[in-house]
Amino acid sequence: MAVLPAERDLRRVIGDADGAGDREVDGLGEQELLELYRSLVLLRTYDERSVVYHRQGRIGTYAIFWNHEAMQAGVVHALDDEDWIFPSYRESAIGLLRGMPPATVLSWWRGHPAGWWNPDDYGVASICVPIATHVPHAAGFAWGKKLKGERACAVAFFGDGATSEGSFHEGANFAAVTGAPLILLCNNNQWAISTPLEAQTRAETLADKAIGYGMPGVRVDGTDVLAVYEAAREAVARARAGEGPTFIEAFSYRTAPHATADDQRAYIDLDRVEEERKRECVGRFGGYLRRAGILHDDLAESIRTEAAEAMRAGIAAAEAEPPADVSLLFEHAYVDPPASFDSDLEELRRTLG
């Protein structure tokens, strides 16, 4: 297999605000472009409402993904339904693009068992909170698909910080050696909580790491949904053709706190954040569609309203779930429960009143 040199230039499809440089993507007609826009707005609405629900005490700590929507939607639209997604906490709501109800994801953030979906129902694995530990899971899963002669591929989402973890290395190397049909989607938002990218690596770009594994590495503008889509579509085609994994570095800048528990004023330059927010991904794609005459105010408003309605119904359904029984904390932990199991549970029930 010939290994392409990792590309240092950021791939872009969407041009400037004045339309200079706008390109078209082969095979994407008006309907597909609007579907992509709907997905972006659904994710954006989910994210913005979730911050409000957190402030209102209706969900727990929440990992904000504002301005990461393009890398998530761009990839999902390049997949077929049979392909699997392995999300990190940053892609918690990616299942919405596979028909998962908002109530399910909101329940997950409420710490309620109604938020535990069956991965098989959506082709979406459980949300992975430990950094990078799902990369080997995705690699093994993809290899399994190859061994079975199935057509499906898998994509693992992880951050810039994750590339410093042993699990990332093991998963990437394993996928390369086995020729697994895997897409390694690195969300390079240049921060791992308060650790900046320059403290993370001496590599000039994260895509350069792909060379060491013997796989192609490409860099795309992570706030350009069409550039992400195009790169993901190429990676999927390689995977299906038996050419193994691809590393995609989706480059952006984190323009929201790491999570609702984070006060980024302690370490980030807020002027830079303001600057970056002006190029946020939903507005950028909206501008592209308007310049192409595909999107107009009424349509944009109805897409926003539809997403807001879905969230209103979602939080109502999540809050209508009866509280989970505390015995769940103990069940499934042991094949043979220890002798103290029953009295421990009794004590917990007494403590909780």
Ligand X SMILES: Cc1ncc(C[n+]2csc(CCOP(=O)(O)OP(=O)(O)O)c2C)c(N)n1
CA end-to-end span of the chain, whole Å?
Answer: 64
| Partner from ligand X, Mg ion, none binding residue 47, C-beta < 5-8 Å depending on class | none
For residues 159 and 244, which CB has a smaller minimum distance to Mg ion in the complex? Answer: 159
Q: Does 245 bind ligand X (CB under 6 A)?
A: no
Cβ distance 130 to 166 under 8 Å? no
Indicate the residue among 155 and 192 with the shorter CB distance to Mg ion.
Answer: 192
Binder to ligand X among 191, 213, 229, 251 (CB under 6 A)? 191
Total residues interacting with ligand X, rule: CB under 6 A? 14
Rule CB under 5 A: is residue 257 a binding residue for Mg ion?
no
- Number of helices (H) and strands (E), helices first, in the chain? 12, 7
Helices 281-291 and 225-240 pack at an angle, to 10 degrees, of: 90
Question: Which of 49, 112, 134, 254 does the annotation list as catalytic?
Answer: 254
Tell me the site size for Mg ion, rule CB under 5 A.
5
In whole angstroms, the minimum distance from the beta carbon of 221 to Mg ion comes to 16
The site map against Mg ion for 181-220 (x = CB under 5 A) is: --------x-xx----------------------------
Pick one of ligand X, Mg ion, none as the site partner of residue 66 (Cβ within 5 to 8 A by kind): none
d(CA 183, CA 268): 31
Closest CB to ligand X among residues 126, 319: 126
- Residue of 8, 55, 267, 349 with catalytic role: 267
- Supply the angle between the helices 102-109 and 30-55 in degrees, to the nearest 10: 30
Catalytic annotation present for 258: yes
CB 136 → ligand X: shortest distance, Å?
Answer: 13
Question: Is-catalytic flag, 122?
Answer: no
DSSP character at residue 204: S
The runs of H, that is alpha helices, within the chain are: 30-55, 69-76, 102-109, 119-122, 134-147, 166-178, 209-213, 225-240, 270-277, 281-291, 297-319, 341-352
68 catalytic residue (yes or no): no
Output 68 or 77, the one with its CB closest to ligand X. Answer: 68
Q: What are phi and psi of 186, to 5 degrees?
A: -95, 115
Burial class (CB in 10 A: 0-12, 13-18, 19+), 35: middle
Two tokens, residue 130: 């430990």
Report, in Å, the least distance between residue 166 CB and Mg ion.
17
Catalytic residue among 49, 233, 258, 284: 258
Helix (H) or strand (E) holding 196: strand 195-196
Residues binding ligand X (CB under 6 A): 90, 129-131, 159-162, 187, 189, 191-193, 258
Residues binding Mg ion (CB under 5 A): 159-160, 189, 191-192
> Which residues are marked as active site?
254, 258, 267
